[in-house]
Amino acid sequence: MEMKSKTLLILYATQTGNALDVAERIAREAERRACTVVIRSTDDYDANSLPAEDTVIFVVSTTGQGDTPDSMKVFWRFLLQRNLGSHWLEGIHYAVFGLGDSGYQKYNFVAKKLDKRLSDLGATAVVEKGLGDDQHPSGYEAALDPWLSSLWSRLNEIKPHFFPKGPDFLVSNEELIGLPKFQVTYHNVDDIDSRLSTATDFKYLQMQIGRARSMSSGKVPHEKCKPDAFLKMVKNFPLTRASHEKDVRHFEFEFVSQVIKYEIGDVLEVLPSQSPAAVDSFIQRCNLDPESLITVHPREMENRHIDNNVNTLDVPIKLRTFVELTMDVTSASPRRYFFEVMSFFATAEHEKERLQYFASPEGRDDLYQYNQKERRTVLEVLEDFPSVQMPFEWFVQLAPPLKNRAFSISSSPLAHPTQVHLTVDVVSWTTPFKRKRQGLCSTWLASLDPEQSIYIPVWFHKGLLPPPPPSLPLIVIGPGTGCAPFRGFVEERAVQSQSGTIAPTLLFFGCRNENNDFLYRDFWFSHSENDGVLSEAKGGGFYAAFSRDQPQKVYVQHKMQEQSERIWNLLCEGAAIYVAGSSTKMPSDVMVAFEEIISKESGAPRESAVRWLRSLEKAGKYHVEAWS
C-alpha cells in the first residue's frame, strides 16, 4: 500500500488579502493539532503536482463580477484542460472555502466552479464547500467557524495519519504563538554608505517607497512596489452643492516625474498619506524610536541561501518612514488574529481575558461590533488595551497593510497629454456608536491645496473598460461617480471627431437631484450641442435620471426604457455596452433593462434576449466596472 503524504497542503488565491488570512488561520489550527502543513499561493504552486498530494484545502476569493483573482488565472486555466480526464485526481481529497459578497450576482462563483471542477477530475470532497459572505453581520467568519469544526472532525475520521497525537490533542496557544513571520534588523548610522541619498529627487523617493513596500510584503519584488510616477495636484473643486450630503470632487493632476502613457478606461492607484500625528502617536504608544534605521525580512529566508544581488535593496530605512508607507495604523481595522496575539502580551488580567474572549468563536459577534462595525484602528485598539506591549515584529506582520486606492481615470490623454483627472466621492460615515469616520485616501486628496507641492505616488493599470475604437457605436450607463471613465470617453471622441468620423454615443447618467449632485452637468450639455459627441446630429444622446426630484424614484434603467428604440437600433448596428458605478443593485438592474428592451423591440422571448446578451459578453461587447 503506498504511503500517503503526511503533509496537508493549503492553496489560496487572494485579491485583497482575506483569503490569505483564512489560509493562515487554517494552517495555525492544523499545527495546533500536530498536523504538518504547507501553505502556498496558487501562482506559487505547480498544478501538475496535484495528483501527488493527499489532501488539499483551497481558499479562494471571487472578485468583481465572478472573476478569479489574478494569482489564480494560470492555475485555473491548467485545471480546465480537456485532456486531464475524470480520473486525474482520483484518490485525492479536497475541501474548498470561498470568500465572496452576496451583493453580487455571481456570488462566490470561483469557489463553486473550483469545487465542481475538482470533483469532475475525480477528487473527493472531505466536507461540503464553505461560502463566506462579506454581507453577513460577522463577515466571512460566520461561515468559516462551523466549516472548520466539521473539517477537523471529518479529517480525524478519514485521515488519522495527519494527526499523530490523536484526535483530541491540542497544543496550548502559548506554545503555538512562536515567532512572528518577519524579522527586523536595526542598523547603526555608521553602517550606512553613500547609497542613502538625502536628495528629494523622484528616483530616490521611488526607491524608498519601493524598498519599504517590498520589505513589508516579503514576497513582492521591489520593481512591482515602486510607483510608476508622481503627480502634483493642480485643481481641486467640488462637483456637488455644499449643502448636499455627498461631497464629490474633481481633481486634476500634472505629471511631475516622467509622463506615463495611459488610455481611457484605465485605472489610477494612489498611495494615500496617513496623518503624521497619528503615525507619531502609534510609534510613541509602542515605545519605538522613529529615527532608528531598519531592514525587514521574512523569517523563512533565514535558512535560504540569500542571493547577493538582493542586498543592493537592503538599504536601511527609517522606522517612521517604514510605518508611514506600509502599515495602516490610522484607518483600517485589524483582523481577529491581532487580538489573539495581543492577548499573549497583555499583562493586566482583565485585558487578557477580554482579548481571549474576542479571539474565541463565542466572542466573534462582539468583536465584530467593537472592531469592524466601528472601524477601530490599530492605534485605537492599542489605546483601549494599555497593558499590551508587543514586539515591533508582530506589528509588521499583523497591522493591516497600507493599500493603494484605485480610481477610474476621468480624462482622455488625447485631450490632456500631461494630466490625469479623477472624480472622487469623499467618503464619510457615522458608526453605530455615533463616531465620525472618513475614507483615508479620498479625505486626504480633498484636503490637498493645489498651491502646495505635494508629490503623490501613483500606479497605472488596465481597468475592466477597454478603450473603444472611434468607429464603434456606444451605449454607456454611468450613474453617480460611475460617469467618471465616460467623461474620458467623451473627451477622447471629441478630439477624434475633429479629424475623422465617430460612431454615435448614447450616455445615461443618474443622480439624486438635478440641483445638488448633477456631476459635470455643463460638460455633458456642451457635448450635446453644436454637433458634439452626444448630439442628435451625431446620432448620440444624453439622458439624465434624477431619482429624488419627484415622488416616484426614476433611475437610469427607466430612462433606458424610454429610449428602447434608439438602444435597439444601435445594438443592431453592433454597439458595445459599457456600465460603471456602484455594485449594489445597479449592474443587475441595467442588465434586466437590456433584456426587456431587446425582447420588446425584437419581439423575441425573454430567454432569447438573455442568450443574446450572453453572446455580447462573450464577444467582449458588454463591459462592467463596479465598485462597492
> Known binder of ligand: residue 18?
yes
> Known binder of ligand: residue 408?
yes
> Known binder of ligand: residue 396?
no
> Known binder of ligand: residue 553?
yes
pLDDT tens track for 40-51: 999 889 999 999
> Known binder of ligand: residue 547?
yes
> Known binder of ligand: residue 501?
no
> How far, in Å, CA of 27 to CA of 88, rounded?
26
What pLDDT score does 1 carry?
37
> Known binder of ligand: residue 101?
no
> How far, in Å, CA of 105 to CA of 586, rounded?
11
Q: Which CATH superfamily is domain 7-171 in?
A: Flavodoxin domain (3.40.50.360)
> Known binder of ligand: residue 62?
yes
> Known binder of ligand: residue 64?
yes
Query: Please, are residues 184 and 396 in contact by the beta-carbon 8 Å criterion?
Result: yes
> Known binder of ligand: residue 178?
no
Alpha helices for 389-463 (secondary structure H): 392-398, 440-447
> Known binder of ligand: residue 321?
no
Q: What are the Cα distances from residue 414, in Å, to 420, 495, 605?
A: 11, 7, 43
For the chain, residues classed under CATH 3.40.50.360 are 7-171
What pLDDT score does 5 carry?
66
> Known binder of ligand: residue 320?
no
> Known binder of ligand: residue 369?
no
For the chain, residues classed under CATH 3.40.50.80 are 474-627
> Known binder of ligand: residue 202?
no
What pLDDT score does 311 carry?
45
Q: Which residues of the chain have pLDDT under 70?
A: 1-5, 173-176, 190-200, 218-220, 300-314, 583, 628
> Known binder of ligand: residue 556?
yes
> Known binder of ligand: residue 439?
yes
Coil, strand or helix at 388 = coil
> Known binder of ligand: residue 442?
yes
Topology of domain 474-627, per CATH?
A: Rossmann fold (3.40.50)
> Known binder of ligand: residue 309?
no
> How far, in Å, CA of 490 to CA of 263, rounded?
13
> Known binder of ligand: residue 312?
no
> Known binder of ligand: residue 149?
no
Neighbours of 584 (CB within 10 A): 12
> Known binder of ligand: residue 127?
no
Long-range CB contact pairs, 596-605, < 8 A, 24+: 596/561, 596/564, 597/560, 597/561, 597/564, 597/567, 597/568, 598/568, 598/571, 600/564, 601/564, 601/565, 601/567, 601/568, 602/568
> Known binder of ligand: residue 257?
no
What pLDDT score does 474 carry?
97
Q: What global pTM score does this model have?
A: 0.83
> Known binder of ligand: residue 326?
no
Q: What are the Cα distances from residue 229, in Å, to 256, 315, 458?
A: 8, 21, 6
Alpha helices for 327-363 (secondary structure H): 336-345, 349-359
> Known binder of ligand: residue 471?
no
What pLDDT score does 308 carry?
39
Coil, strand or helix at 149 = helix
DSSP state of 521: H
